[in-house]
Amino acid sequence: MFPRRADRIVRAVGEQGAARPRVVIVGGGFGGLCAARGLARVPVDVTLIDRQNHHLFQPLLYQVATAALATTDVAVPLRHVLRRQANATVLLANARALDVPGRRVLLDDGELAYDHLIVATGAGTNWFGHDEWAEHALALKDCRDALTIRSRILLAFEAAERASAEERPPLLTFVVIGGGPTGVELAGALAEIARVTLARDFRHFEPRSARVLLVEAGPRLLPALPEDLARRARASLEKMGVEVRNGAPVTAIDANGITLAGETIRARTVLWAAGVRATPLLGSLGAPMDRGGRVLVLPDLTVPGHPEVQVIGDAAAVPWRNGTVPGQAPGAMQMGRHAAASIARAVRGQATQPFHYRDKGSLATIGRSSAVAEIGKLHMAGFPAWVLWVFVHIAYLVTFRNRVVVLVEWAWLYLTRQRGARVILDPEDLTDRGDAENAEGRGGRGTTTAGKREGQRGAMPPR
């Protein structure tokens, strides 16, 4: 097969012996991957660093946690994505610091020099000063978290089958903290699992008796969306049986449940979807930051005083309207493409241009055939919004294989209301085992290091 044009350009530059600028990209998420792809036709050497070997389609990670999809449906190896890009190298490594004066990325096991640096490290969980809550609440940030949550949910129902009537209520109480898109989507999926998927699977109790509680400290759900859509979302959740609490900040989380507004709610499964915070690595840049730990970048996404360093995605606080660019995939992808274009201009000796965000709207699904959408001045809810949500997410998946598999899984779920990934995996068994493709079957439905968190937090035996 003939090489693609990008490959021919890069090889031609190499044959001439010209020294190419070294571009290091830290993070293989939406922003980092778009930046790497955007440099395919630029005479530079690109090194993409990530501590995971895969790109994760995080908007659908909650569906792995709720047994609708497998891990390999939403994750694809970075090397596979960039395999045809001859000027790109992928390194599985952990960046522990950024030496901006020395133009080096310090790794756990070495260092990389750069001429241009793109920082796309994303965001982690924000516990709002209560890091001790991580021992009792499960956050959702990567495939390991999703598998742990999925096991916890399914094990709760298994434990309820053997428990006495007095022991069941805490086992069948699921608390989701955070009323943003992830929290709303998790709560809706949990309600469907209890009231539809598992409705006929148990003999000694009624799965429909499960209690799903969605807690939001603010005055309403989905604060990034218009109020009319937030009301529609709440109405749809309550119709599904979800109990919604607004204006009720959580004051305590322990092994027995949560406390809010002076009320203690006994629950063995608490899911945290309340917020994100930029990664600690950004602190080594020495740049000004906002309260969320994001770098306050210049209009062209560069760090003040260092035009060779760009920060994008959830790691950057980019002014937009009365706030900042939303921490969503479209924003990160646009920033990634802009960062690549800026480097291409620098290589040609041209000045950079400011970044302009194009708002493509916001979407959130609530359950089967139900979603809300804002696209400019157009507000949609119900089935039309759900159809739009489906096709937008299919289009944004990285590979054709993922698009086909996810579409087939969703069609099966829609027609049968059955979730195909309802396999309980013991994370302890997976810790020292081979690769993820052997963990769940069907070409890979697991992860190698689901972690010891499940063992630490309990595997839901009846008390």
Q: Which residues pair with 324 in a beta bridge?
A: 319
- Find, among 97, 122, 123, 94, the residue nearest to 109 by Cα: 94
Residue 223: how many CB atoms within 10 A of its CB? 12
C-alpha to C-alpha distance for 441 and 463, rounded to whole angstroms? 32
- Find, among 101, 100, 111, 7, the residue nearest to 49 by Cα: 111
C-alpha to C-alpha distance for 409 and 190, rounded to whole angstroms? 18
Residues 6+ apart with CB under 8 A from 314: 121, 122, 123, 276, 278, 294, 327, 332
Catalytic residues, by residue number, are 185
Tell me the residue type at 319.
P
Q: What angle do CA 196, 199, 201 make, to 5 degrees?
A: 130
Check if the beta carbon of residue 142 is closer than 8 Å to that of residue 444. no
Tallying the residues shown for the chain, one arrives at 463
Check if the beta carbon of residue 186 is closer than 8 Å to that of residue 221. no
Which two structure tokens, joined as six digits, stand for 128?
A: 């709002």
